[in-house]
A and B are shown apart, each in its own frame.
Chain A
Amino acid sequence: MTWLLAITAGVLFAAGLYMILRRSLVKILVGLALLSYAVNLLLFNSAPLLPARPPLLPPGNGAPPEVYADPLPQALILTAIVISFGVTAFAVVLMRQVYGTLGTDDLNEMRCTDVPCEEVEIASEEEQMEEPL
């Protein structure tokens, strides 16, 4: 199963990357979701996969069972899932707002929100000083 899971995560990762490279706004959202699935699987696969051995202590004196799944990756993934919901919600709303404000879903057309589209003259102040020796 480790192999299968690794391949699955790899495909999810590749699909996520592919989607995040698209120019359409909504596809990036899909890419984000795919990437978070991939990362969760990556974490999950970092410990041996055991069927039907949940990390619960049996009743009694609390001695751990012989074999149990590693609880640490599970704790990590649990919070990651919940956080990714927050992130997705934020991204969704942000993109909806961007789409509403700019009226386009093509990322290439949003370039000017990030970099100055006209050439800006820099270092003009340096020239305003006389040059003594």
Chain B
Amino acid sequence: MKRARSILLATAARYLMPLMLIFSVFLLLRGHNEIGGGFVGGLVAASALMLYGIALSPAALRNLLPLEPRLLVGLGLLAALTSALLPVLAGRPFLTGLWLKTPLPVIGKVGTPLLFDMGVYFVVIGVVLWILLSLAEEEAQ
């Protein structure tokens, strides 16, 4: 099924998408202290990418992605699991938060919960894209 594509939307998506992605990373990184977090960040990023995918084409989005969505899901789960297991290596209980002493500029304090949140971020992006992109690609066939 071919759909007429809106040039306006396509152009807007091309410029909006990177901005929204940056915003999503911003949401992710400051989420521990202000409004935001991995879930919101991931959803915003996924919306941005899907907007791009719908405005241009699923194939264009697929070309843009450096990784398969399902690999993103795996990566996210791996990141979360790593953050959970790192304290075990350090002799602390599973999922204990470990923090670096000195805060980094912009981001603030860095610790395993941030890695965990990044895991959430990637899982959410991966899941949403995996579902919607599969549907969209099937639609495009």
Question: A residues touching B (Cβ–Cβ < 8 Å)?
Answer: 54, 56, 78-79, 82, 85-86, 89, 93
Question: How far does the alpha carbon of A86 sit from the alpha carbon of B135 in the complex, in Å?
Answer: 14
Whether A82 lies near B34 (C-beta < 8 A) is no
Whether B127 lies near A86 (C-beta < 8 A) is yes
Whether A82 lies near B131 (C-beta < 8 A) is no
Whether A82 lies near B35 (C-beta < 8 A) is no
Interface string of B123-135 (1 = CB under 8 A from A): 0100110011001
Q: Which residues of B contact A85 (CB under 8 A)?
A: 128
Interface residues on chain B, number (Cβ under 8 Å): 11
B129 CB to closest chain A CB (Å) equals: 12
- Tell me if B's interface is mostly helix, strand, loop or mixed: helix
Question: How far does the alpha carbon of A82 sit from the alpha carbon of B34 in the complex, in Å?
Answer: 20
B131 interface neighbour in A56, A78, A79, A89, Cβ under 8 Å: A89
Q: Which residues of A contact B135 (CB under 8 A)?
A: 93
Question: How far does the alpha carbon of A121 sit from the alpha carbon of B131 in the complex, in Å?
Answer: 43
**List of 4 A-B pairs having minimum Cβ-Cβ separation, nearest first:** A89-B131, A82-B39, A78-B39, A86-B127
Q: Which residue of chain B has the shortest Cβ distance to A82 in the bound complex? A: B39
Q: Which residues of B contact A79 (CB under 8 A)?
A: 39
Question: How far does the alpha carbon of A85 sit from the alpha carbon of B132 in the complex, in Å?
Answer: 11
Q: Which residues of A contact B55 (CB under 8 A)?
A: none
B35 interface neighbour in A54, A86, A93, Cβ under 8 Å: A54
| Residue of B33, B124, B131 most packed against chain A (CB within 10 A) | B131
Q: Which residue of chain B has the shortest Cβ distance to A85 in the bound complex? A: B128
B71 CB to closest chain A CB (Å) equals: 18
Q: Which residue of chain B has the shortest Cβ distance to A90 in the bound complex? A: B131
B95 CB to closest chain A CB (Å) equals: 15
